[in-house]
Amino acid sequence: IVVTGSDDHLWKMWALPDGNILMTGEGHTDWLSGCCFRPSGTQLVTSSGDTTVRIWDLSRRGCILTLQGHARAVHDCSWQSQGDFVASASMDSTSKIWDVNSERCRYTLRGHKDSVNSIEFLPFSSTVLTSSADKTLSLWDSRTVSRLF
């Protein structure tokens, strides 16, 4: 199974190798930039040009949570290994750590001087890696919001 997002504001889940569409998600109002499965495989997080991050419940076949707080398009999203937190990277030069259980932004990571283009939780860790159009990479401790590198 693979999930894709595109300019048509939709994400699609595909079966491999036959290429059949298993599920489609609609709700974003602009292009999709990122999709990431929850480690348990029960949910999906998506990021979009509409400045939002959405969490989708795959068994319900719909969006269960819209996270708002970025000022510009969101380029990427990532799920923490334990599944309690989602990270997002935005053109507004910030990244955010979202607490899925409380449904709110826990931390805003500031330090890049240009668009943050990608974000990833390191496996089984609270460390987040970001890359930016300012030509830098940063490692962050998501528990303390301190920049490690």
C-alpha angle 4/47/137, rounded to 5°? 100
Q: How many domains is the chain partitioned into structurally? A: 1
Residue 147 lies in a domain: no
Residue 125 lies in a domain: yes
pLDDT in tens, 20-42: 999 999 999 999 999 999 999 99
For residue 6, what are its two tokens? Answer: 């595109």
Residue 30 lies in a domain: yes
Residue 147 clears pLDDT 80, i.e. is over it: no
Residue 145 clears pLDDT 80, i.e. is over it: no
Residue 149 lies in a domain: no
Residue 142 clears pLDDT 90, i.e. is over it: no
**pLDDT at residue 52, rounded to an integer:** 98
Residue 53 lies in a domain: yes
Average pLDDT in the chain:
94
For residue 28, what are its two tokens? Answer: 């974003």
Task: Give kind and range of the element (H or E) at residue 35.
Answer: strand 32-37
Domain CATH code at residue 66? 2.130.10.10
Residue 146 lies in a domain: no
Asked whether the beta carbons of 141 and 129 are under 8 A apart, the reply is no
Residue 84 lies in a domain: yes
pLDDT in tens, 101-116: 999 999 999 999 999 9
- Unique residue bearing structure tokens 């240009």: 114
Read off the pTM.
Answer: 0.93
Domain of residue 97 covers 2-141
Query: DSSP per residue over 40-73, as a string?
Result: TSSEEEEEETTSEEEEEETTTTEEEEEEE--SS-
Residue 136 lies in a domain: yes
